[in-house]
Structure 1
Amino acid sequence: MPTTHLLYLHGFRSSPHSAKARKVGARVQTQHPGVTWWCPQLPPSPREAMAMLMHGIATWPHESMAVVGSSLGGFYATFVAEQTLCRAVLLNPAIAPARDLQRYVGEQTAWHDPADHFFFKPEFVDELRALECGPVAEPHHYFAVIAKGDEVLDWREMTARYPGARIRLLEGSDHALSDFDAQIDEVFEFLQLA
């Protein structure tokens, strides 16, 4: 079934203004104008972020929706996909953010607007832990783009998290997927937008 609703989830300290989010959004709007597109600014609290997302997609048809998530957004996208059994594209997905983000507790600045500050509270680590899922129920619903050159996350850990999923393993690249233009066609082919 073609995808009629697409959710995009940005990463930690990122925003809907990230290069990948803007590229995906622009392509949806120009080539698939009938698709419902939502790329929200996620609050720092994982619990609040997930409550907002689940409320926002409550009326979406699960059988024809999909989610794309980058880094921490990939962790969130996995949770959403497990709840809805929708298709998911994961771009260098965070695997254990409760472990990895503990050292970021405190004042943070946003990548795309250094004037934008937020506080990453200690309890957010527990909120992340509460969103951890077991093995994915429908591996064929997942497509992960994983860079061996990711300077933030371990590609082996990312690959091992999604056995049976479709995986595009890039020999180089980086955490931001600076070469995303070379991957976007395969991402859209997997998403099967209406």
Structure 2
Amino acid sequence: MTTTHLLYLHGFRSSPQSAKARQMAAHVAAQHPGVNWWCPQLPPSPRAAAEMLLAGTAAWPQATTAVIGSSLGGFYASWFAQQRRCPSVLLNPAVFPARDLEKYIGAQTAWHDPALQFFFKPEYIAELQALDTNALPAAAPELAFIAKGDEVLDWREMLARYPQAQVALLEGGDHALSDFAQHIPRIGRFLALG
């Protein structure tokens, strides 16, 4: 399968301006200009995010669509991969966001622009639970990058969550995958970018 349509999903409080999103976008534009790239700004509501992703990719060819997700975006990517039966690349994916994000209910600021504020509502926890695909087998091939040095999420939980995935278990590292650029070639090979 050659990927012709690629969706990139950023993490909590992140944006399409994240370093990984920009690096991947630049790589696709330079090396795979025929690939349809979409990295939307995700709304705070998980339900709204899911609806936006399904609507925005409704015309995409299922056989050649793939998704990349980082942190909370990795959680969404696993859900999206179930819906579209498409390959996914997971970058330090959130495994239990309904549990982990409860302490963030309230006003939040965006990492890349502190002037941008949003409110993480209590009902978003139930919306996250509704999107949870932990109990389902992988719908399509998965590649997970998991950093043991992740200071936000437990790498053991990530590893246990993706037993069927190809796993790049990184010694050290960090939640942001600061060395992401060196992993892009492997992602390109895994997704067979067209």
Partner of 1:142: 142
Any idea what the Cα deviations from partners look like across 1:116-163, whole Å, max 9, x if unmatched? 000000000110010001444337610000000000000000000011
Post-superposition shift, 1:60?
Answer: 0.7
Q: Summarize the alignment of residues 38-77 of structure 1 with structure 2, pairs less than 5 Å apart.
A: 38-77=38-77
Task: Verify: 1:133 aligned to 2:129, yes or no.
Answer: no
Partner of 2:177: 177
Structure 1 length-normalised TM = 0.97
Which stretch of structure 1 is more off in the superposition, 130-139 or 42-51? 130-139
Q: Which runs of 4+ in 1 moved over 2 A?
A: 134-140
* Distance of 2:138 and 2:125 partners within structure 1: 27
* Distance of 2:56 and 2:90 partners within structure 1: 20
> Residues 140 and 84 from structure 1, CA distance in 2 versus in 1: closer, same or farther, beyond 3 angstroms?
closer
Which stretch of structure 1 is more off in the superposition, 139-148 or 160-169? 139-148
* Distance of 1:88 and 1:66 partners within structure 2: 6
Structure 2 length-normalised TM = 0.97
Q: Summarize the alignment of residues 104-143 of structure 1 with structure 2, pairs less than 5 Å apart.
A: 104-138=104-138, 141-143=141-143
Post-superposition shift, 1:181?
Answer: 1.6
Partner of 1:36: 36
Q: Summarize the alignment of residues 83-98 of structure 1 with structure 2, pairs less than 5 Å apart.
A: 83-98=83-98
Partner of 2:26: 26
Post-superposition shift, 1:188?
Answer: 1.2
- Unaligned runs of at least 5 residues, structure 2: none
* Distance of 1:145 and 1:103 partners within structure 2: 25
* Distance of 1:122 and 1:107 partners within structure 2: 11
Any idea what the Cα deviations from partners look like across 1:99-127, whole Å, max 9, x if unmatched? 00000000000000010000000000110
* Distance of 1:135 and 1:192 partners within structure 2: 28
Which secondary structure state, in structure 1, belongs to the residue aligned with residue 27 of structure 2? helix
* Distance of 2:123 and 2:17 partners within structure 1: 27
CA contact (8 A) 1:139 1:162 kept: no
Structure 2 residue identity aligned to 1:192? A
Partner of 2:103: 103
Any idea what the Cα deviations from partners look like across 1:19-56, whole Å, max 9, x if unmatched? 00000000111111111000000000000000000001
CA contact (8 A) 2:85 2:140 kept: no
State the number of aligned residues.
194
Structure 2 residue identity aligned to 1:100? D
Structure 2 residue identity aligned to 1:137? P
Structure 2 residue identity aligned to 1:57? T
> Residues 125 and 170 from structure 1, CA distance in 2 versus in 1: closer, same or farther, beyond 3 angstroms?
same
* Distance of 2:139 and 2:162 partners within structure 1: 7
Give the % identical residues.
Answer: 64
Which secondary structure state, in structure 2, belongs to the residue aligned with residue 103 of structure 1? helix
- Unaligned runs of at least 5 residues, structure 1: none
Structure 2 residue identity aligned to 1:182? Q
